[in-house]
Each structure stands twice: as structure tokens, then as C-alpha cells.
A and B are shown apart, each in its own frame.
Chain A
């Protein structure tokens, strides 16, 4: 009798501890988001979005150069990485028995676990070292390399969810294989593929390490992909580790903008799939 009470008490104690773990785990999220808003929102102004930085030590200016840079670098990376990842993902789902599928899938897993800084070193050795100057393009190449495995796996998983009967029906109606694949199977999973792509872009947009010695960063507004270029994560890093009080305020504001970009992309990713489910219902 008594030991039963003890056992039940212990069970409840452990549940209490686990609830504590949930609270502790949620604490950093609340803290980080709160601090970003409290310390960053105050510095957001029209000037912050439209001007380039004032010379070091002077006040004023903004991060327009970094916002443009992030858009260009991440945009170029998506143009390279998404089509490649999606095509490879469709291949893996369409030809599951092929040996190339097994190899590609395995390599994608390896790349997924590769630290982004290592990919940065690769982009440096491949592009920067041969061109002998830093360039935004090298940064885009590094980011593209990070997008590919993520998009590949989500595309493949999504396509695998499509019932085979759909494809068989299309083939039975006389569709050639490519039309059955693209027009029926891929089209059915399009929202899923969009979601996967947006999530990958969101993750890559916040990457700093692969840009450190490829895009390098810059204080000026630039549209030339062949030259060093600023990016929001790089700006956060430089300003956060810099000596000036004003830089620190700008680092918080830039981080707030960065996280808004990332969250909006992630939210868009969720909406893309949700709307699909509503259509289905």
C-alpha cells in the first residue's frame, strides 16, 4: 500500500520535473525574442532601411547596403540551389531503384551534416582563391551548396507521399512519363516543394559563417556580384563585436530585421502547405 503511494508520488515528481524542463527550454526563446524587440525596435527608422552606414564613430546611417546584399546573395543562391535540389529530389523519387539515387541520397545526408563553415572554406578555395578576390558570387555558391541537400530531401519525401494510383491513372490515360511526373505528381506536391524551398532559403538567409571569407562584407551599397558585398548576418556580427555603443544598437536592430525575414519566410512556408490542405478538405 505504502510502496504504491511512493511509486505514484515518484511518477508525479518526474512529471513535475519534465514540466520544469519544458519551461526551462522555452525560457531562451522568450528571452531572445523579447530582447531583440526591446533593444532593436528603438533603432528602426526609415533612415535605418534606406541609408548606408555613416563613417565609423559617427552616428546615423543605416543598413540598406546589407539588406540589398542579403537579397542579392540569397536570391542568387536560390537560383542556383533550388532547381538543382528539386531536380535531384524528383530524380530520387522517380527512380528509387537506381544506384545513382542511393548515392545521391547518401551524399545529400553527408552534405546536410557538413558544418557551414567548411562549405565556406570550399567556396573560398574554389572561387575566391582562383579569382584572387572576394566576391558575393562565392558567397552565393556556398549558400546554394547548403540549400541543395535540404531541398532535395523535402522534395523527395513530398513526392513519395503521392499515391501511386494517381500516376498510374495518368499513364493509363496515355500521358507520357514526363507529363505524368510533372503535370500530375509534381503538381500535386507543389505546395510541399514550395514549403521545403522557403524553409531552406529561410535557414540559409541567416547563415554567417560561409560568407565571412567569400562575400566578406562591405560598407557600401553594391550590386556587383563579382565584388565583396555586405549581408545582414555579417553586419550583425561586425557590429556586435565592434567597439562602439552605437554599433551595438545597430547590431540589435539588424538582428531584429534578420529574424523577421527568417520568420516571415518560415511562416510563408507553413501557409503554402496549409492552403493546400484546405483545398483538399
Chain B
């Protein structure tokens, strides 16, 4: 959209000499002031958020410094805190989620843009989009009473029997575990990765596909050799956006991960994440140092998600800009 001049030219009524729109200019000023106030509020709120997190965490930052990130003690009684198990749990559960969700969502996205009959495209995308509308706590409820029993009785033993030579799939099976949290996260981030990569794939110009098909490529070869490479950085952006979601997800993870301050090699073992620790301990925190340590965790989580999301947006923006340019060239 092109920018309009800030003030519209004011025509005058013939003969009268007074500007026809005199009564409007006051309204214009009020209009602009109200909107500007609304727009200014948002950066101010963010500044406030950063400030409050920082002041909340100041005590812990002063005492533990960056060592907070590498220490694994979490002892509210002795007031010794280190977030390594939390950071480890956040990263590992998100990684598990991506390993499961990325192939699935890309498969769905590619199928829906390139292969599916026209009539089912929108309905299927809508249904998978519904997954994004389900509240996190409902995923947690379903995870506790439906998913975990299934995993404990059939999936985990199967994994241990077939892939048990890997340290990832060894050890006792409890139910609440890193893997259970990863699976529920995978279901939750799938709609995001799917819908963004679908949009990116839709932005690939048809000439790309036609050229490959004309050279005798099969439809799959067309996808692999021309469509996906064209959309590559956008797809990576979609995946990173999903990662951002997974890192900050709280309720479902809190209900399924087992909540133990431990670093274990096995995915069957319970763990903890940054968001889950805040959710569980914040309202029951004893002492200022405990609260401050949790605020420190929140601060770190905020910084990480901002960086991840900024990276994702940059990649998606590059593709959409590229396709806009391509569209003009046609």
C-alpha cells in the first residue's frame, strides 16, 4: 500500500471562503492522538516486561551470574540454584518434538500443495489447523490419561526391544518422561509448521514445476529438485517457528515430563523444562532467592525465544520477498 500524505488536501466550498473541512481537522487530531497512544503502548509494554523480568531476576543474576546456566544444583532450602537440567530438558524435549513433527508436517504440507485432489486440500488443512486451537491444558489431560498409558504399555517396551542398543531407549519405563513430553509437543507444533510451510510452498511459482515436468521429471522429482529448494529457507523458517513454540510450551509439558531436576541420557526418564519449573514452583516458591532464580529462568527463556523467532521471521521474510519479486517478473 502506498503512503498517503499525512494531511488530506482541504478543499474549500465555492464562494464561502471557509475551508469545508474545518470541523474535521479537530477530529483528525484526536483520531491521530488516540491511535498513536495505542501504538506507543505496545513497545512501552515490552520495555516494561523486560524491565520487570530483569528486576525480578536481579538477585539471582547477582549471586549466580552466568554460572547459573552451567550448574545443576537446584536446592531451594540451601538457596543454591542452577538451571542446566531445565535448559537441557527444554532443548531435548523440543528436539524430540521437531524430529517427529518436521517429517510429518512437511509430508502433509507437500501433499496438500502438490498432490492432493483440490476438494480435500482446504478441509484437511482446516482439520489440522484445529489442533492449534486445542488448549495446552487439554493436551496435558489427554496425555496423562490416554497417551501415557498407551506409551507405557505398548510403545515404550517396543522401542526398548528394537532400539534398546541406543542409550536413548534404555532404562526403566515410568510413563511420564522426556519422550512423552516430546510426542505431545510434536502434535502441538505440527499445525504451525504445516501451515507456514504450506504457505511458503504455495508461493513457489508454477513455472518452476512446469519446467521440471517438461524435462521429464516425475512429480516427486519435481518436488525434490525444484519446489522444495525454491522454498527451502521458508521451510527452515517454519521449522524454527515451530521450535519457538515448543521451547515456550508449558502446561502439556508440565503434566507429562515427570518434573525431576535431572539430566538423563534415556528418553524414558523423567525430566524438567524451564517453563515447567516456573509453572510448578512459582506460586509456592519459598524465599526471595527461589523466586528470583525462577524469574532468571523466565528471563533466559524470553531471550532464547525472541532470538529463535527473530531468526525464523527473517528466513520466512526472505522467501516471501523473493516470491513477490518472482511474481512481478512473470
Contacts and interface: CB of A to CB of B under 8 A. Distances in A.
B218 A164 contact: no
Contacts of A171: 8
Interface string B297-309: 0100110011011
B35 A18 contact: no
B247 A115 contact: yes
Interface stretch (A48-56, A58-66, A94-102): A94-102
A167 to B, nearest CB: 7
Contact of B306 (A39, A113, A266): A113
Interface residues of A, number: 102
B53 interface: yes
B134 A178 contact: no
A26 B124 contact: yes
Given A113-B305, A118-B248, A177-B8, A236 B1 contact: no
A106 B240 CA distance: 18
B83 interface: no
B38 A87 contact: yes
A125 interface: yes
B266 interface: no
Given A107-B46, A115-B250, A171-B8, A176 B221 contact: no
B218 A87 contact: no
A22 B124 contact: yes
B99 interface: no
Interface string A76-106: 0000000111111011111111001101100
Interface stretch (B103-111, B201-209, B230-238): B103-111
B283 A117 contact: no
A114 B142 CA distance: 25
Contacts of A148: 42, 45
Contacts of B108: 18, 21-22, 25
Interface in A106-141: 107-122, 124-126, 129, 134
Contact of B25 (A122, A176, A241): A176
Contacts of B279: 117, 209, 212
B161 interface: no
B224 to A, nearest CB: 9
Contacts of A119: 49
Contacts of B41: 84, 88
Interface in A15-41: 15, 17-22, 24-26, 28-29, 31-32, 35-36, 39
A246 interface: no
Interface in B125-156: 127-128, 130-131, 133-142, 144-146
B87 interface: no
Interface stretch (B26-34, B64-72, B322-330): B26-34
B40 interface: yes
B42 A15 contact: no
Interface residues of B, number: 93
Given A35-B146, A111-B46, A125-B56, A88 B283 contact: no
Interface stretch (A187-195, A218-226, A251-259, A271-279): A251-259
A255 B16 CA distance: 67
B239 interface: no
Given A10-B218, A14-B220, A149 B42 contact: yes
B2 A164 contact: yes
B98 to A, nearest CB: 15
Interface in A198-231: 202-203, 205-209, 212-213, 216
A216 B283 contact: yes
Interface string B55-82: 1100000000000000000000000000
Contacts of B283: 134, 212-213, 216
Nearest to B39: A91
A263 B133 CA distance: 8
B39 A87 contact: yes
B54 to A, nearest CB: 10
B248 A109 contact: no
A247 B310 CA distance: 42
Contact of B42 (A90, A108, A179): A108
Contacts of B104: 21, 24-25
Nearest to B244: A113
A233 B24 contact: no
A257 B18 CA distance: 61
9 contacts: A21-B104, A21-B108, A25-B190, A115-B305, A126-B48, A160-B1, A179-B24, A206-B133, A208-B251
Interface of B: 1-4, 6-8, 11, 20-21, 23-25, 27-28, 30-32, 34-43, 45-46, 48-49, 52-53, 55-56, 103-105, 107-108, 110-112, 115, 124, 127-128, 130-131, 133-142, 144-146, 187, 190, 194, 218-221, 244, 247-251, 255, 275, 278-279, 282-283, 294-295, 298, 301-302, 305-306, 308-310, 313
